[in-house]
A and B are shown apart, each in its own frame.
Chain A
Amino acid sequence: QSVLTQPPSASGTPGQRVTISCSGSSSNIGSNPVNWYQQLPGTAPKLLIYSNNQRPSGVPDRFSYSKSGTSASLAISGLQSEDEADYYCAAWDDSLNGVVFGGGTKLTVL
């Protein structure tokens, strides 16, 4: 089991807004920024959002983030077919002294 908990799947139609949740604890999400990674089929992961709500250059502002206590969410607005991918949340864990990931959420664009 992963330290951070994500739903295994999510779906939406083009143009819709979807959210993906990520639940943790006080030693990770509760005390450190959450980062999100996108993994397109057959490719390496790519940084999507970091340090709570920063986007690397090239990542559209359709991707946004929120956090409350020990939970976080990734929101994707104006869903597009190219958004179909696996999404992972991650954070530093002060107790484990390392990076912990969620199990990943497979997003399907219907």
Chain B
Amino acid sequence: EVQLVESGGGLVQPGGSLRLSCAASGFTLSNYWMSWVRQAPGEGLEWVANIKQDGSEIKYVDSVKGRFTISRDNAKNSLYLQMNSLRAEDTAVYYCARGSAVAGFHFDDWGQGTLVTVSS
């Protein structure tokens, strides 16, 4: 059974940093693209970042470019999101998702999410 478990969320002040982790199990992480998708309170879904199986290709939504860094450690079955210069508008539940780039791009499994709150 595929399991994705996020951790690292919490309350942080504007301008601060936070590192999210996602522990993957039930599948071979190195065979899949991985992604972060976020959902602000009461709002819809927003894709944040993708990383290819070997880390050789990375993409970000414009609003986080230069502030967020997605990375992975296949040996540790883990995905990460380093978030710097956080803003109030980054407040959201952050989901780790397993991706597939076959015919477009879709997310075929999701974690339960971790809440990031940016507030003074």
Residues on A close to B: CB < 8 A?
2, 32-35, 37, 39, 43-47, 50-52, 56, 86, 88, 90-92, 96-104
Interface residues on chain B, size class: 20 to 34
Residues on B close to A: CB < 8 A?
35, 37, 44-47, 50, 59-62, 95, 100, 102-113
- Given A88-B45, A101-B46, A47 contacting B106 (CB threshold 8 A): yes
Question: What would 17 more interface pairs be, CB under 8 Å, given A44-B95, A47-B108, A86-B44?
Answer: A2-B44, A33-B106, A35-B104, A39-B45, A44-B110, A46-B110, A47-B109, A52-B103, A90-B47, A92-B104, A98-B47, A98-B59, A98-B61, A99-B35, A99-B105, A100-B47, A101-B47
Q: Is the CB of A45 within 8 A of B95?
A: yes
Q: Which residue of A lies closest to B47 (CB)?
A: A99
Report the minimal beta-carbon distance from A102 to chain B, rounded to whole angstroms: 7
Report the minimal beta-carbon distance from B98 to chain A, rounded to whole angstroms: 10
Query: Which residues of the other chain, A, contact B61 by a CB distance below 8 angstroms?
Result: 98
Q: Which residue of A lies closest to B103 (CB)?
A: A51
A7 CA to B108 CA, complexed, in Å: 24
Query: Which residues of the other chain, A, contact B103 by a CB distance below 8 angstroms?
Result: 33, 51-52
Query: Which residues of the other chain, B, contact A35 by a CB distance below 8 angstroms?
Result: 104, 106-107
A34 CA to B106 CA, complexed, in Å: 9
Q: Which residue of A lies closest to B95 (CB)?
A: A44
Q: Is the CB of A56 within 8 A of B104?
A: no
A56 CA to B100 CA, complexed, in Å: 13
